[in-house]
Structure 1
Amino acid sequence: MFTGIVQTRLPIHHVERKADFATFVLKFDDQLRAGLEIGASVALNGTCLTAREINGELVSFDAIGQTLAVTNLGALETGHEVNIERAAKMGDEIGGHMISGHVMGQVAVVERIESEHNLVLWFERPSELAPYLLDKGYVALNGCSLTIAEVGDDRFSVHLIPETRDVTTFGTAKVGDLINLEADPHTQAVVDTVTRLLGDSQLLVQLTERLAGKG
């Protein structure tokens, strides 16, 4: 699990690609590498990956075809920057919201509005994800825990403070960029449960009417 508080952004040192498979190698400094072991979970752009090898400063992570297809990791090349967060530990401060690292899909940046102290990014709001993207709700974008500021029929926005712009890749995000999205799991659970119960209720009404000879 992760908290959505991105620790840093790092460039991809190099990428090794095979059929439906890729290995991403990054250079971790001493602080980021402290206590890291093979098998540990690290989020790259909000995607939970497992540390496969640790060779000095170089740490490698494997991604299978499904991960490459669903997330923006499939488009990463050497030099591209990614948001990094080490897995949360018991007792860590939760400054964002709990994130699984299981990306649901990608959304495109559709507008960028920047001022001296504020950055507003608008993203597309696809129909399959729209029920989970609510006004003032949480969302994880490239692994960064953010609050949705405004919601339109087909788009939503977030406001980024200077600290977030500096630490994450959003400072250089541009229109057309594809961003990994994971909905808040609590919102998803509530929406899915209510939807299921409403569906069951409608079915119950239909069955009751039929039994009563109305159907």
Structure 2
Amino acid sequence: MFTGIVQDMGSVVAIEPREQLHTHVVAMSPAMREGLALGASVAHNGCCLSVTAIDGEHVSFDLMRETLRLTNLGALKVGDRVNLERAARFGDEIGGHAMSGHIMGMARLTEIDEAPNNRRLWFALPAGLERFVFDKGYIGIDGISLTIGEVRGERFCVNLIPETLARTTIGERLPGDQVNIEIDPQTQAIVETVERVLAARG
């Protein structure tokens, strides 16, 4: 489980592309590597990946074809940065909201609205996910737990403070960029349960 509180940003230092599998090597800070072991879970832009090798500050992760299809990790290049979060441990503070690290799809950044000391970003959702999104609900964007500001059809916005812009990659995003989306699992469960009940009643 993850909390959506990005702990650090790591730099992609190498990519080994193979058929339907990429291996990414990420430079991670000493704090992020403390106690890290093979098989440990680390979220990259919100996507849960397992550690496959550790060589000093360089940590390797395998991305299978489904990960490459559903997330923006397959488009990364050497030198790009990713949001990182280690898996939560029992007793950790949940500063954001409970997240699984399972990306449901990508949203496209369509508009940036600058204002003094904050920034509003508008995103277009892929078809089918809009039913899970509502005003003041939770959403995971590139692994960041955020509150939805407003929903307009298939579009929604989030409002970002300077701290979020400085500590995560979302401050680097430009119109047209694709971000990873994780719907709040509780919201998803409630919506899908209600839909099944209503469908059963005809």
- With the shorter chain as reference, the TM-score category is over 0.9
> How far apart, CA to CA, are the structure 1 residues paired with 2:145 and 2:66?
24
- Identity level (%): 50
CA distance in 2, matches of 1:105, 1:199: 25
Distance across 2 between alignment mates of 1:102 and 1:178: 16
Cα shift at 1:116? 3.2
Secondary structure of the residue that 2:117 maps to in structure 1? coil
Shift of 1:100: 0.5
Give CA deviations for 1:7-35 in whole Å, capped at 9, x if unaligned. 11222111111111101111112111001
User: Is contact 2:140-2:146 (8 Å) kept?
Assistant: yes
RMSD after superposition:
0.8
Q: Verify: 1:50 aligned to 2:89, yes or no.
A: no
- 2:78 is matched with 78
AA aligned opposite 2:147:
T
Assess if the C-alpha contact under 8 Å between 1:125 and 1:153 holds in 2.
no
TM-score by length of 2: 0.98
- Answer with 111-120 or 79-88: which moved more: 111-120
Q: Which residue of 2 aligns with 1:92?
A: 92
Answer whether contact 2:105 2:126 (CA < 8 A) is retained: no
Partner residue of 1:176? 176
Q: Which residue of 2 aligns with 1:37?
A: 37
Which residue of structure 2 lines up, in the alignment, with residue 107 of structure 1? 107
2:3 counterpart SS class: coil
**In 2, distance between residues paired with 1:11 and 1:32?**
13
Partner of 1:190: 190
Q: CA–CA distance in 2 between the matches of 1:174 and 1:197?
A: 41
Question: Tell me, which stretches of 5 or more residues in structure 2 are unaligned?
Answer: none
2-structure distance, mates of 1:6, 1:133: 22
Indicate the SS of the match to 1:32.
Answer: helix
Aligned to 2:14: 14
* Cα shift readout 1:67-97 (whole Å, capped 9, x = no counterpart): 1011001101101111110100011000000
10-19 or 45-54, which moves further after superposition?
10-19
Distance in 2 between residues matched to 1:52 and 1:84, nearest whole Å: 16
Distance (Å, rounded) in 1 between the aligned partners of 2:187 and 2:99: 12
Equivalent pairs counted in the alignment come to 202
The CA deviation string for residues 160-204 of structure 1, in whole angstroms up to 9 with x for no partner, is 1111000111111100000000100000000000000000011xx
Aligned to 1:146: 146
For 2:127 and 2:38, the matched residues in 1 are separated by 39
Letter in 2 for 1:156: F
Q: Distance in 2 between matches of 1:29 and 1:125?
A: 33
Where 1:15 maps in the other structure, the secondary structure is strand
Distance, in Å, in 2 between the alignment partners of 1:63 and 1:148 is 29
**1:96 counterpart SS class:** coil
TM-score, normalised by the number of residues in structure 1: 0.92
1:123 aligns with 2:102: no
Distance 1:173 1:116 in 2: 18
SS of 1:2's equivalent? coil
Partners of 2:60 and 2:126 lie apart in 1 by 33
